[in-house]
Structure 1
Amino acid sequence: MPNRIGSIFAEKPNVGQSSTFVQFEQLYFCDCCAKRLHSELKVFQFLRDRCDGTWRTSRVNRLAKRKKKLIFAGLAALIGLLGGMLLLEIGLRIYVASRGWTPNCYVTGVAFFVPHEQAGHTMRPGLRMKSSAYDVTINSLGLRGEEIDVQKPDNGIRVMVMGGSSVFGYLVPDGQDSCCVLEEVMSKDERYGDSKVQVLNAGVPGYNMTQCRLRYESDLSKLNPDVVLMYLGWNDMKYLLQDPDSVDRTPPAPSLWTRTMATSVLYGVLRYRVFPPDSPVFVPPVSSSSNDEDLRTECETQFRNDLQSLVEAVRNSGALPVLSTQLMAAGASDPQLKRYLGDGAEQIEANERLGLWITQVIREEAERSHVPLIDVADKIECDSTHLGDAIHLTQFGHREVAICWAEGLSDALIKMEDGTPEQSGEKTELRREKESE
């Protein structure tokens, strides 16, 4: 009997159907041929399945090998890149060391600051920075200068100077800032007799009056200064035309990532030399250019309150507060200095009025609070020999300001010892109470 193999067909068109449809006529074979064909088909199907499986397996293997090669190539490139960066870092460290610089010489202000719980940020204790532009040492207490004992020397007079970068000494090396010069001048003054005069530089670049107060209350008052001289106001100028509730008066330190990266010389070169940020501007933003009439009452009140709060914090600690006006380009007749006040004539004029307003408020607050005033702005001529920009003193300027401070402080200290002014009597009583605790 013939057998039918259902998998073998011959095409034959079906009449009346579309040519796209075909009817398959089944082929018939004898039993012997059918069995043989069955066997061959099974072998064919087996080989086909094996071939499909092998192909899939080989494709997976090829993809896996390619993936391994890509991973290996990526790792090799990464290792090469890291190795190259390491060699560059070592080379740059050797270079800066040969120049007598420190590894943080390129990152400047980023290396200065660490977080502070109350004030937002403060000086990095133990910082050492030296470059072509900087020669800065910060002691373990976060003060610029050499190490000091927390305990005040016996028979000593401790003077603390608070403010921003003008006090810190932004443009001068160690030993040339106003505080160092003030200590030198006062130590030679015979009016102090055998008393050891110690002047502490508590300036922090960028600090406003609120930050000065918060840092003083949390950290600096523990040093028991006899006198706290406040040379400030400029850094609060930018708040005069902004809503007091919308500004952050305690800005944070740079992020942990930035501070960590700042330890790398290579990072400093790339970030601050190859791709430098915008140059710092020491004047209020362009939006602050307006007439005095635009100074809102709440901004003026806030400025006065901040100053009064700082004076009261110093007085409550038992120290004698002393205010000083600042030498700033706002009072300059030199057109080269005035150009630091803004980009155009209108902004320069507006910012000059703001600076003069700040100076006058400091004078008024000193009189209102019965606080000794050293009127630097009135006693020293504002020119390019004293200022390097809108607010920062030159080396000569630091010396002249220190001499002016020394004259004013000698009068205040003598009156304090005599107990003649009202505030001196208060100070002496507070100091006695504090020392008896």
Structure 2
Amino acid sequence: MSVQVSYKKQFVLGFMLLMVLLVVIEGVVRTYEYFEPGCKYIGQEALNDVDIQMQKAICRDTNNLIYSETPILHFYPNQDLPTIHINSFGFRGDEITQNKSDNVYRIFVIGGSTTFGAASLSDNTTIPGYLQQMFDKENLEINVEVINAGIGSAYSFTESFYIQDRLVNFDPDLLIIYDGGNDAYDRHLDSSLNTNSNPFIESGKTLLKLSGYRTPFFVLGAAFYQEPEPAPINDEIKSQIVSLWKNRWTEICDLGQNENFSTLLTVQPILGTGNKVLSTDEKELAPNDKFGFGTIEILEGMGNSLDDLSQRCDATADLRNIFDHVQEPIYYDYIHISDYGHEIVAERLFELSLPLVLDDIQEQ
């Protein structure tokens, strides 16, 4: 004799089984996310002096940062994470005021995630953070304020827009540009502002981020993410990328002359530029194909363009060889560097910028 189960009971049973399955999936994903937060730098030689649990904590903070993509990628303000603080204007570091006091000399450091300080222990161990400490030790007659305007994935198009749309409103005295790597690697030939985002979708993403919750689809997608096929490369494309980069920074340096702020433009190092003695990890990460060598060649073109740019900018510098005499591991991927690397770069930027600061102070 068969037993008939009502549709209502079947539905309830099916619903309960579905809930159990979702709870199991959620538990498995959260456990995986805790132990494997998804940053490739964890365990790299360049971060050997940082405890593994701290590396994972930095990774979780980075994953929890909230961005807006309109009109360019930028940080939402007022984010306070254990290792990262985003102030009320969307800059990493201490709070500032938009109106600058008479006794303040304001420096913005502009660039991508290397400037922002990916994998930094704190706001103070980023390139701008170290630079601030160096100026603090000088005991100048004026307070030098160094602001971290680095944004992950930024390149010359988004950076030049950011300067003209936002940073000029903060009355900068000096812009330090640490740049080139993202242009050379990502190779954006057709750039435009993002003006078509759906506000409802953006709001939903923001609320989800604010809750600190990452869906299982997101976590698993990140875990199994495959890098897209590299952008094509030939001599014409290399030349176009260099020309776009050069023209954008020429425009910004000319803007500085008109708006009364100084500019220091630098070409950043990446793994494979210069003659650094590579560690075991760095050898494995070093470029070994046409794409990687093409990236280095584009950066070389940017370095070669600095002679022309020096006629428009207040100062320029090629930093591609900055780690030549460093024996310790510095890179944990093709472009990002350890806090020790940040300090080395900051020391060089300090040497380059101090004369500009002193000249500007004397003229005030």
Give the TM interval when normalised to the shorter protein: 0.7 to 0.9
Kindly state the Cα deviation for residue 201 of structure 1 after the two structures are TM-superposed: 0.3
Unaligned 5+ residue runs, structure 1? 1-61, 420-427, 429-437
The change in CA–CA distance for 1:92 and 1:302 in structure 2 (over 3 A counts) is closer
Residue 371 (1) aligns with residue 319 (2): no
Query: How high is the TM-score relative to the length of structure 2?
Result: 0.75
SS at match of 1:409: helix
The change in CA–CA distance for 1:93 and 1:112 in structure 2 (over 3 A counts) is closer
2:159 is matched by which residue type in structure 1?
A: C
Partner of 1:122: 74
Using the alignment, how far apart are the partners of 1:253 and 1:145 within structure 2?
28
Q: Aligned pairs, how many?
A: 338
The change in CA–CA distance for 1:88 and 1:238 in structure 2 (over 3 A counts) is closer
The change in CA–CA distance for 1:263 and 1:100 in structure 2 (over 3 A counts) is farther
1:71 is matched by which residue type in structure 2?
A: F
The change in CA–CA distance for 1:151 and 1:280 in structure 2 (over 3 A counts) is farther
Using the alignment, how far apart are the partners of 2:103 and 2:213 within structure 1?
49
Using the alignment, how far apart are the partners of 2:256 and 2:32 within structure 1?
46
Partner of 2:176: 229
SS at match of 2:263: strand
1:340 is matched by which residue type in structure 2?
A: L
SS at match of 1:162: strand
1:404 is matched by which residue type in structure 2?
A: R
The change in CA–CA distance for 1:298 and 1:375 in structure 2 (over 3 A counts) is closer
Deviation digits for residues 44-98 of structure 1, max 9, x if unmatched? xxxxxxxxxxxxxxxxxx99x8332233223434555566678889999999xxx
Partner of 2:130: 181
Using the alignment, how far apart are the partners of 1:273 and 1:286 within structure 2?
23
Instruction: Tell me whether 331-340 or 251-260 shows the greater mean CA deviation.
Output: 251-260
The change in CA–CA distance for 1:173 and 1:87 in structure 2 (over 3 A counts) is same
Q: Indicate if the aligned counterparts of 1:106 and 1:265 stay in contact, CA closer than 8 A.
A: no
Partner of 2:103: 155
SS at match of 2:307: helix
Partner of 1:431: none
User: Which structure has the greater CA radius of gyration?
Assistant: 1
Q: Which has the higher contact order (CA 8 A, sep 6+)?
A: 2
Q: Indicate if the aligned counterparts of 1:226 and 1:319 stay in contact, CA closer than 8 A.
A: yes
Using the alignment, how far apart are the partners of 1:162 and 1:125 within structure 2?
17
SS at match of 1:230: strand
Partner of 2:340: 396
Unaligned 5+ residue runs, structure 2? 36-51
Partner of 1:310: 252
Deviation digits for residues 27-59 of structure 1, max 9, x if unmatched? xxxxxxxxxxxxxxxxxxxxxxxxxxxxxxxxx
Query: How high is the TM-score relative to the length of structure 1?
Result: 0.64
Using the alignment, how far apart are the partners of 1:161 and 1:197 within structure 2?
13
1:143 is matched by which residue type in structure 2?
A: F
The change in CA–CA distance for 1:312 and 1:239 in structure 2 (over 3 A counts) is farther
Deviation digits for residues 311-352 of structure 1, max 9, x if unmatched? 34444443222212212224232355465353x344443332
Residue 68 (1) aligns with residue 8 (2): yes
The change in CA–CA distance for 1:414 and 1:107 in structure 2 (over 3 A counts) is closer
The change in CA–CA distance for 1:117 and 1:249 in structure 2 (over 3 A counts) is closer
Percent of pairs with identical residues? 16
Given candidates 225, 229, 237, the residue that maps to 1:278 is: 225
Using the alignment, how far apart are the partners of 1:297 and 1:350 within structure 2?
11
Q: Indicate if the aligned counterparts of 2:184 and 2:296 stay in contact, CA closer than 8 A.
A: no
Q: Indicate if the aligned counterparts of 2:238 and 2:298 stay in contact, CA closer than 8 A.
A: no
